[in-house]
Structure 1
Amino acid sequence: MTDQQAQPDRELGPVLVVIPTYNERDNIGKIVKRLHAALPQVHALVVDDGSPDGTGQVVDDMVAADDRVHVLHRTEKAGLGAAYVAGFGWGLERGYEFLVEMDADGSHAPEDLPRMLDAAAGADLVIGSRYVTGGSVVNWPKSREVFSRGANLYSRIALGAPIKDITAGFRVYRAEVLRKLKLHNVASSGYCFQIDLSWRTHELGFRIVEVPITFTDRVIGESKMSGNVVREALIRVTKWGLRRRGNQLRSVFAPKAKTPSGTAK
């Protein structure tokens, strides 16, 4: 179930913003500072995958200075999906009611998060969307935007999930949703993780809302997008789509049960 607008109906509980990092020492302090300027009450959890550039030490210093900042150090670069699963698990164990995905590189503006949290009061998953009315992309070459829109269209058709920006990585989950998604079974390691969780959330019947945001490509550092990430998404989405279509066909052609009188139902 999807919608583009939702109205807040109550005050939200504790919010945790999960921020994966790998070589983001020049970005992480700035993004957390912007986050707390926009929303002083939220907590941030930085999940660092053993960054060799010293990101972990920068975050350790932030943790020592601010009790709203937390860190989860991991010893290897295991992928975006694994970082989020670890961060979600950390937050669920500590009773946060809403958990946010946000990039460390500034592509997701923390200033957009208050609107997303307003929408979360009436939704189970809020996606900060580039591709609904009012959303936009800044500093991307046209070729990359065309590719992104094409990937979203392909995923939407293959999976039957009416989400305009199913690959988006700026989102708010209600804790109840994450508990029911069986995160320990999620194998997607790259950006396919976003498609995976969106689809699972849709299949379980939760309410999904898309809120327009402006996505700005990073200015400092290097993108983590790679050919392997793209291949993983293409292979997994195609596999899931074929399995979904097979299930649909089996349900259509399966023998119908007979009533006691011998007539088919």
Structure 2
Amino acid sequence: MNDGEQRSFGPLGKVLVIIPTYNEAENIKPIVRRVRASVPEAHILVADDNSPDGTGKLADELAGADEQVHVLHRHGKEGLGAAYLAGFQWGMDHDFGVLVEMDADGSHQPEELPRLLTALKGADLVLGSRWIPGGRVVNWPKSREFLSRGGSTYSRLLLDVPIRDVTGGYRAFRRETLEGLGMAEVASAGYCFQVDLAWRAVRNGFHVVEVPITFVERERGDSKMSRNIVVEALWRVTVWGVGSRAGKAVGRKP
């Protein structure tokens, strides 16, 4: 990643964990409870896309009982990227210095969040990585692991980013990092949203660090991954990669 050894990093500031939800009624209470136990000083923002199963109402109940839990009600299902962008903006509007991406289904273990935050003290962006030494996945079929590893490798090579798990979604950003990524230009909404942000961070010279995590397949509810999401990601990464390489060939800055 980008060299951060010669840089000094300021204090982290307040931490906001953003948890996008769509039909996560079975998972929202357990994940909020685990986050609050793992990092008691952190606040939580549930960004709910008008879940038909009542996830938003459950989140409101949690917020009513805990002043460190907040809810952002959105009009409908607009994609993971849109939910995170709205959550990032809410967090920055409320003066949070660290913004964390975390799944609602328990795949991203809150108990590992302290390790990401510790690493962020010397970085601009920390990625929880499944594909570096010490990282692993639990209860995944080989086909899913092949798809994820292959997607990360394809993105890493085509976009020339030194990140092993470029598609992973467990991340901790400094506020200043997000402000420097050109968030208004981010159009990707699904699976490739994570690739987009990681690539932007590298291109903008931010110091990116990967720490190993154990990714656990969800036990309750349905996965939001679909064939269309994967196809969109591959298409966008291909367009970005080809465009970037063509630009370099004619001396144009990405």
Shorter-chain TM band:
over 0.9
Q: TM-score, normalised by structure 2?
A: 0.95
Correspondence list, 1:4-43, <5 A: 12-43=12-43
State the AA in 2 paired with 1:195. Answer: V
Residue 2 of structure 1 contacts residue 163 of structure 1 at CA under 8 Å; is this kept in 2?
no
Alignment gaps of 5+ in structure 2: none
RMSD, matched Cα? 1.7
1:181, distance to aligned residue in structure 2 (A)? 1.3
Task: Indicate the residue corresponding to 1:180 in structure 2.
Answer: 180
The question of whether the paired residues in 2 share the 8 Å contact of 1:130 and 1:213 is answered with: yes
Distance 2:86 2:251 in 1: 37
> Cα distance 1:12–1:227, how it changes in 2: closer, same or farther (>3 A)?
same
Ranges in structure 1 where 5+ consecutive residues have no aligned partner: 253-265
SS at match of 2:242: helix
Q: Which residue of 1 aligns with 2:134?
A: 134
SS at 1:59 equivalent: helix
TM-superposed deviation, 1:10: 6.9
SS at match of 2:251: helix
Q: Which has the larger radius of gyration?
A: 1
Say yes or no: does 1:75 pair with 2:38. no
Amino acid at match of 2:56: G
Change (3 A) 1:248 1:11: closer
What CA deviation, in whole Å up to 9, does each residue of 1:160-187 have, x standing for no partner? 0010000000000000011111212111
1:212-238 CA distances to partner (integer Å, 9 max, x unpaired)?
A: 000000000000001110111011000
Identity of aligned residues (%): 57
The number of equivalent residue pairs is: 250
Say whether 1:112 aligns with 2:109: no
Structure 2 counterparts to residues 178-257 of structure 1, below 5 A: 178-251=178-251
- CA shift, 1:247, in A, is 1.2
1:2, distance to aligned residue in structure 2 (A): 4.7
TM value normalised by structure 1: 0.91
**Secondary structure of residue in 2 paired with 1:209:** strand
Match of 1:103 in 2: 103
**Secondary structure of residue in 1 paired with 2:250:** helix
Give the match's secondary structure for 2:220: coil
* Residue identity in the other structure for 1:58: L
What is the CA distance between 1:12 and its match in structure 2? Answer: 3.0
* 2: CA distance, partners of 1:11 / 1:96: 12
8 Å CA contact 2:12–2:174 kept in 1: the answer is no
